[in-house]
Structure 1
C-alpha cells in the first residue's frame, strides 16, 4: 500500500495540499484497519457519535495539512 501518493508531499496549491491531507488521513485508517468489512461496520458506529468523531477526523486532517503546508514552504 502506497501511504504517500507519488512519494511526495509537494503540491502546486493549498487546495491540492488539503485534498492530499484528506487522502493521507483516509490511507492511515485503511492501513490501520485493512479489513473492508470491519471498516464499513466501524464507519456506521462513528457516524452516530456525531461531534466527537467528526472533530477527531478534522484534527487528523488538520495535522496532515500542517505537515504538507510546511513541506511546501506554505506555498510562498
Structure 2
C-alpha cells in the first residue's frame, strides 16, 4: 500500500501475500473505527477474548484467500 492506497493484490511470494492480507485487515479496522483513541481503548478488551481473536484470524484468512487467488496461488 502506497500512501494508504491499495495499488495491487499482486505479490512475489505467499509470505508477502499474507503480510498484505494482515494489512488489509488492519486497514478495514481503521476504516470501520477511524478513532485511534477508541481503538486503543478497545484493544485490551478484544485482545484477551478468544472469540474476537478467532474472528480476526478468519478475516485475515479471507483476505489471504483473495490475495492468493489474485496471484494464481503462486503456482
TM-score by length of 2: 0.91
Tell me the residue number matched to 2:48: 48
Q: Is the 8 A contact 1:46 1:53 kept in 2?
A: yes
Tell me the residue number matched to 1:70: 69
What count of residue pairs does the alignment treat as equivalent? 73
Q: CA deviation at 1:53?
A: 1.0
Q: Which runs of 5+ in 1 are unaligned?
A: none
Deviation per residue, 1:6-50 (Å, 9 max, x gap): x1000000000000000000000001111011000111111232x
| Separation of aligned partners in 2, 1:60 and 1:28 | 10
Q: Which has the higher helix share?
A: 1
RMSD: 1.2
Tell me the residue number matched to 2:4: 2
Kindly tell me: are residues 17 and 64 of structure 1, through their superposed partners in 2, closer, same or farther at Cα, counting changes over 3 Å?
same
Question: In the alignment, is residue 18 of structure 1 matched against residue 18 of structure 2?
Answer: yes
| Separation of aligned partners in 1, 2:29 and 2:64 | 16
Q: Which runs of 5+ in 2 are unaligned?
A: none
